[in-house]
């Protein structure tokens, strides 16, 4: 992990801590400019390893820290990467330890991720944008920048991404790109069927599983669209997210996008019925003791409609259904798979997973079943994505 000079170095401390917590071995290398913003002692405490600043560090017996350190790495992450440091890289300049390491790294073995950080005018300058394009052409991975308040008092693009966002990008770098080139459409969360302007019918789905699958598919290299019901989760960076409310709105959004998708994963817990007539005013008690009578009509079956589409019937759209049951999971999930006519059905016990961060999944296809033991939803999402990629590769 390299730090070049910039006020964003304060974020690098939290990033280092997050990387270590995620299981990475982090060796920090700082430029002298970076040491003006944050001390090597801080990064040493967080990484549990001595920090290197000078190319003349006497701790290396052969005095070749730029060779030794780069050969031990799986990835060099420079965060922050200043405008000056990136300009230096495109010319192959190497007048400090960090730039030496970037130049000396084995290109086919050690990746280079750069997290830019600078003033908005510096970011927008044609020279910076040309340098970024050249860095990408040379094989470096240049991350996005954030937008917002800057230390100088101005506002705009150029902020370094937040530590959790950079951690996501590091994890993405190491994920197998098993869905590269695929367009994946995912639904998530509950739907809300209005009774009146303040009441409605919904369920306990949090959307966490669907959002985790969207993240896993993105990290597997897919172009991901997520259609989410009313959830308290923020849109995922890099995922095209469409927020809807009712089952009708979700059906409309899915059918429009399914015609251009390769994989459809119906994770959402869609309401089976909706009130036949929603009141345009709040239904009030009238002190008569009589309760209002509600009549219901059936919502469209999103998964069944997609699986019956021409694209799915021609084998160009692989459909995956979800079944959240309260009992008899295997029996009910098998029945649902046959009824929906999908190649893969994923079942779970709804009350045991709604709102939680972990889950168990039961995968059911024509060949049998596969149980994925309880784990975090993101771990299960990666396992499910890998199972889907294996299945579509054999078609």
Q: pLDDT tens-digit profile of 43-101? A: 999 999 999 999 888 888 888 889 889 999 999 999 999 999 999 999 999 999 999 99
pLDDT higher than 90, residue 348: no
76 and 217 both lie in a single domain: no
pLDDT of residue 129: 97
Q: How far apart are CA 187 and CA 181, in angstroms?
A: 20
CATH number for the domain harbouring residue 325:
3.40.50.10300
Token pair listed for 154: 């101005």
Residue 251 and residue 165 share a domain: no
Q: What confidence tier does 274 reach under pLDDT thresholds 50, 70, 90?
A: very high
Structure confidence at residue 10 (pLDDT): 96
**For residue range 211-242, what is the model confidence (pLDDT) as tens digits?**
999 999 999 999 999 999 999 999 999 999 99
Is 152 annotated in the active site? yes
> Tell me, what's the pLDDT at 354?
86
Do residues 312 and 195 share a domain? yes
Are 200 and 268 part of one and the same domain? Answer: yes
Rounded CA-CA distance 105/101 in Å is 6
pLDDT tens readout for residues 149-167:
888 888 889 999 999 999 9
Contact 362, 329 (CB under 8 A): yes
> Are residue 41 and residue 159 in the same domain, yes or no?
yes
Q: Is the same domain home to 140 and 195?
A: no
Residues forming beta bridges with residue 226, ordered by sequence position = 186, 241
What global pTM score does this model have? 0.89
DSSP bridge partners of 240: 225
- Examine the pLDDT at 351 and tell me if it is beyond 80: no
Contacts of 125 (CB under 8 A, 6+ apart): 83
The pLDDT value recorded for residue 327 is 84
pLDDT of residue 151: 84
Give the pLDDT mean for 3-18.
Answer: 97
Which tens digits make up the pLDDT trace of 234-262? 999 999 999 999 999 999 999 999 999 99
- pLDDT at site 349: 77
Domain residues for the domain of 285 are 183-393
Domain count across the chain: 2
Catalytic site residue from 9, 102, 152, 319: 152
In a 3-state reduction of DSSP, which class is residue 269?
Answer: strand
Do residues 136 and 208 both lie within one domain? no
pLDDT class of 288 with cuts at 50, 70, 90? confident
Nearest to 378 by CA among 175, 182, 223: 175
Instruction: Evaluate whether 368 touches 349 at the Cβ level (below 8 Å).
Output: no
Is there a single domain that holds both residue 15 and residue 40?
yes
Helix segments in 178-233, DSSP class H: 208-219
Give the contacts of 229 (CB within 8 A, at least 6 positions apart): 187, 188, 189, 190, 191, 192, 205, 207, 243, 244, 245, 250, 268, 270
Q: 46 and 114: one domain?
A: yes
Out of 151, 174, 197, pick the residue that ends a domain. 174
236 shares its domain with 384: yes
- CATH code for the domain in which residue 106 is found: 3.40.50.1950
Question: What integer pLDDT is reported at residue 234 of this predicted model?
Answer: 94
The string of pLDDT tens digits covering residues 94-135 is 999 999 999 999 998 999 999 999 999 999 999 999 999 999
Q: What is the pLDDT of residue 205?
A: 93
Sheet holding 141-142, edge to edge: 29-30, 2-3, 75-81, 111-116, 141-142
Residue where a domain terminates, one of 174, 191, 214 = 174
Binned at pLDDT 50, 70 and 90, residue 333 comes out as: confident
Note the pLDDT tens digit of each residue in 353-377: 888 899 999 999 999 999 999 999 9
The per-residue pLDDT for 250 is 98
Give yes or no: residues 151 and 26 share one domain. yes
Q: What is the pLDDT of residues 189-204, one digit of tens each?
A: 999 999 999 999 999 9
Cα separation, 26 vs 43, in Å, equals: 10
Instruction: Name the domain boundary from 111, 139, 174.
Output: 174
- 145 and 221 share one domain: no
The pLDDT of residue 45 is 97
């Amino acid at each position: 992990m390299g730090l070049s000079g910039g006020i964003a170095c304060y974020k690098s401390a939290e990033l280092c801590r997050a990387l270590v917590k995620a299981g990475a071995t982090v060796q920090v290398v700082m430029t002298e400019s970076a040491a003006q913003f944050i001390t090597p002692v801080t990064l040493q405490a967080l990484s549990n390893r001595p920090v290197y600043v000078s190319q003349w560090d006497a701790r290396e017996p052969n005095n070749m820290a730029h060779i030794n350190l780069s050969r031990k790495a799986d990835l060099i992450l420079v965060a922050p990467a200043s405008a000056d440091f990136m300009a230096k890289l495109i010319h192959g300049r190497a007048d400090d330890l960090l730039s030496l390491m970037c130049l000396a790294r084995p290109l086919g073995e050690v990746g280079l991720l750069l997290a830019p950080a600078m003033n908005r005018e510096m970011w927008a300058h044609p020279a910076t944008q040309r340098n970024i394009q050249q860095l990408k052409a040379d094989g470096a991975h240049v991350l996005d920048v954030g937008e917002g308040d800057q230390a100088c008092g101005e506002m705009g693009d150029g902020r370094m991404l937040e530590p959790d966002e950079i951690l996501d990008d590091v994890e993405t770098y190491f994920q197998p790109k098993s869905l590269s080139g695929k367009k994946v459409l995912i639904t998530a969360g509950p739907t809300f069927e209005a009774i009146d302007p303040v009441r409605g019918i919904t369920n306990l789905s949090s959307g966490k599983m669907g959002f985790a699958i969207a993240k896993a598919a993105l990290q597997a290299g897919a172009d991901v669209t997520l259609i989410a019901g009313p959830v308290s989760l923020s849109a995922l960076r890099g995922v095209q997210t469409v927020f809807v409310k009712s089952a009708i709105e979700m059906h409309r959004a899915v059918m429009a996008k399914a015609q251009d998708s390769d994989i459809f994963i119906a994770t959402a817990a869609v309401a089976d019925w909706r009130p036949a007539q929603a009141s345009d005013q709040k239904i009030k008690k009238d002190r008569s003791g009589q309760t209002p009578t509600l009549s219901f009509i059936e919502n469209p079956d999103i998964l069944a409609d997609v699986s019956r589409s021409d694209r799915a019937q021609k084998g160009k759209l692989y459909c995956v259904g979800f079944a959240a049951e309260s009992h008899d999971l295997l029996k009910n999930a098998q029945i649902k798979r046959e009824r929906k006519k999908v190649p893969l059905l994923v079942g779970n016990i709804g009350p045991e997973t709604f709102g939680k961060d972990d889950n168990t999944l039961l995968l059911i296809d024509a060949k049998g079943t596969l149980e994925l033991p309880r784990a975090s939803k993101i771990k299960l999402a990666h396992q499910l994505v890998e199972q889907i990629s294996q299945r579509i590769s054999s078609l």
